[in-house]
Amino acid sequence: MLLVTLEFLTPRGALLALLVLLPLAAFLAVSRRATRVRSALGVPDLPDSARFVPLGAVVAVGVLLGLAAAQPLLQRTSERKVRSDAEAYVVLDVSRSMLARQGLRGTMRIERAKAEAERLRSSLPNVRVGVASLTNRVLPHLFPSADEDVFRTTLQKAVGVDRPAPGTGFIIAPGQVGSRNTTSFTALAGLGTQGFFSPEAKRRVVIVLTDGESPEVGAGRVGASFRRAGIQAVFVRFWGAGERVYTNGSAEPQYRPQPESRAILASLAGATRGRAFDEGDVAAVERQVHADVGTGPAQAVQADRGSRLPLAPYLAAVAFLPLGLLLWRRDRYRPSAAREPRPPSGRPGSERSRGKRRPFDDMSTPEEGATSCTWNLLSAGRHRRARPCRLSSRVQ
């Protein structure tokens, strides 16, 4: 099931919307004053659209900017069913030999192992899977989790060759003090004794991705630890006879592939009652892992947080629409009185016809003079200079 939730990163930012009260109060005060003036002069009131459209635009701008300041975020979350009785670990060998590759253009063993780890994780959607690294000790990077995105991120950013280097940890497997700079499979025994799995997990699977090159195996110790803890083991070998470790474009002379790595992993598989495969047996590895995990009841949990969409930039951009509408109406709106036809011009022979202008020359009656004077008063706010207007004593 796909769930979409709305979150606010800074909820208090929504208080910015209260600032709209200042221009709103000013707008209402000016509107009431203009209404009183029109009523006193006998001018028709403005239509509702001329009053409420600017009011709505001001409110919309304030609300949109307040929401943008709160930084809303759409989060996609997938709800899936995960088993509580099964857990698995992907253990990657991060010793220096995992840098080996077939030529300068080849893919390193560690990269091939990471790709295999991602494939295996995708094939176990209802099982919690963790990540650990192996040198001369086992270091957990991610405890079993149902979130596949967290698994991929941990695999790509936290796991790497010599990160950390062998021998720098505080926990060293028994008997490994004298070999702090080499890979030791004896360290795998810690998976069954150091609390890597939860007590609820009855099905426990360890998938070891390695090149199998190790001077110390300790198969008996690892097998005894796994049997006591109920751990099923799967070993996958990433190895090639012609692979070398390259530094600055040249192969390191001190490294030589160890053909006996296959026999080493076979002995570990026999001691742990597990199976050993080569990296090309992808389908066989998945079948074995699924058989070891088995089936069981699953419960719904929220996992796999997906894409996150910030809405603040879009809300801020939309806020310009009502603001632009407000400015556009301000420049284009003219009262209906301004569109009335002008009174007829003066009579032939008058002073107006000779180029001279007198007050009320273009007005046939005093009432028209009063109407024109009213328009001059109302238009004074829209023009830099209003035409003078004087009413004679004949206007009642």
For the chain, 396 residues long, the average pLDDT of each consecutive 10-residue run is 78 82 80 83 75 79 87 80 94 95 95 96 94 94 92 94 69 44 85 94 96 89 96 97 94 92 95 95 95 88 68 88 78 52 50 48 45 47 47 40
Place of tokens 């001691």: 271
Q: Residue 49: its pLDDT value, please?
A: 67
Place of tokens 């630890």: 225
Q: How far apart are CA 239 and CA 96, in angstroms?
A: 13
Ramachandran region of residue 93, left (φ > 0), alpha (ψ -120 to 50) or beta?
Answer: beta
Q: Residue 154: its pLDDT value, please?
A: 96
DSSP 286-346: HHHHHHHH----EEEEEEEEEEEEE-HHHHHHHTHHHHHHHHHHHHH---GGGGSPPPPPP
Q: Residue 361: its pLDDT value, please?
A: 47
Instruction: Give the residue range(s) of CATH 3.40.50.410 domains in the chain.
Output: 85-296
Instruction: Please state the pTM of the whole predicted model.
Output: 0.62
Q: Counting beta carbons within 10 angstroms of the beta carbon of residue 364, is it exposed (0 to 12), middle (13 to 18) or buried (19 or more)?
A: exposed
- Secondary structure letter of residue 180 according to DSSP: T
In degrees rounded to 5, what are phi and psi of residue 58? -65, -45
- What torsion, rounded to 10 degrees, do the Cα atoms 338, 344, 349, 354 define? 20
Q: Residue 378: its pLDDT value, please?
A: 46
Q: Residue 174: its pLDDT value, please?
A: 47
**What is the CATH number that goes with domain 85-296?**
3.40.50.410
Ramachandran region of residue 112, left (φ > 0), alpha (ψ -120 to 50) or beta?
Answer: alpha
Q: Residue 306: its pLDDT value, please?
A: 63
Amino acid at 235: F
